[in-house]
């Protein structure tokens, strides 16, 4: 459906033309949630060049585009997915992460004890559990080990909205360029 949009009007940045331009480093319209994650990484103060960045979740709207953005910053990127979990290797990869981003939609999938001491943890997961919302990371334990961690709710979500507004401004510039 996103491919029916004019790429210059694709505020979410998920049209194949915009994804292709992102791969080449030639777009200003970046998928909103991955852009929000990168803003959190920058705010953590960690220089990710050469650092181990582990992305848990390989979706087309978060995991895959995010891995490309991390590569642009010269992080060493590992993408984990359901087969990583099935092979029993998720804990190992999580434990090696200097930057851990989790976006799978499974409450408390990532145990706090798995997290490397001092890691930056960004939880993109939104899961309704009973009468409350929680992320994909076991927050109470993870906060004891992480140097920085995003809460759920109130972490990545609000910044995603700001990235949507930023994309709106960039789309306006693209559409009025040369007029």
Annotated domain spans of the chain: 1-30, 33-159
pLDDT, average across residues 168-173: 93
Residue 9: strand, helix, or coil: helix
Q: Is the pTM of this model over 0.75?
A: yes
71's tokens: 């590569």
**Which helix (H) or strand (E) segment is 165 a member of?**
helix 156-176
Report d(CA 33, CA 157) in Å as an integer. 8
Q: How many CB atoms lie within 10 A of CB 140?
A: 9
Q: Tell me the CA end-to-end span of the chain in Å, nearest whole number.
A: 28
**Of 4 and 13, the one with more pLDDT:** 13
Between the alpha carbon of residue 46 and those of residues 25, 53, 121, the distances in Å are 22, 11, 11
What homologous superfamily is domain 33-159 in, according to CATH? NAD(P)-binding Rossmann-like Domain (3.40.50.720)
Chain Cα centroid distance, residue 177: 30
Q: 159 CB contacts (<8 Å, ≥6 apart)?
A: 36, 39, 40
The per-residue pLDDT for 178 is 60
123's tokens: 């939880």
The per-residue pLDDT for 148 is 96
Report d(CA 1, CA 149) in Å as an integer. 34
pLDDT digits (tens, 9 = 90+) for 47-98: 999 999 999 999 999 999 999 999 999 999 999 999 999 999 999 999 999 9
The yes-or-no verdict on residue 2 having pLDDT over 80 is no
């Amino acid at each position: 459906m996103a491919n029916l949009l004019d790429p210059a009007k694709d505020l979410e940045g998920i049209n194949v033309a915009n994804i292709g331009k992102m791969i080449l480093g030639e777009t200003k319209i970046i998928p909103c949630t991955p852009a929000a994650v990168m803003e959190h990484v920058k705010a953590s103060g960690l220089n990710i060049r050469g650092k181990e960045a582990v992305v848990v979740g390989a979706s087309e709207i978060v995991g895959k585009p995010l891995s490309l953005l991390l590569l642009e910053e010269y992080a060493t990127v590992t993408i984990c997915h359901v087969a990583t979990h099935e092979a029993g290797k998720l804990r190992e990869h999580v434990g090696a992460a200097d930057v851990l981003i989790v976006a799978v939609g499974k409450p408390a999938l990532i145990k706090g004890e798995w997290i490397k001491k001092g890691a930056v943890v960004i939880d993109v997961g939104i899961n309704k559990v009973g009468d409350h919302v929680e992320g994909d990371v076991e927050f109470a334990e993870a906060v004891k080990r992480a140097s920085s961690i995003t809460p759920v709710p109130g972490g990545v979500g609000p910044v995603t909205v700001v990235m949507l507004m930023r994309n709106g401004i960039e789309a306006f510039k693209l559409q009025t360029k040369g007029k």
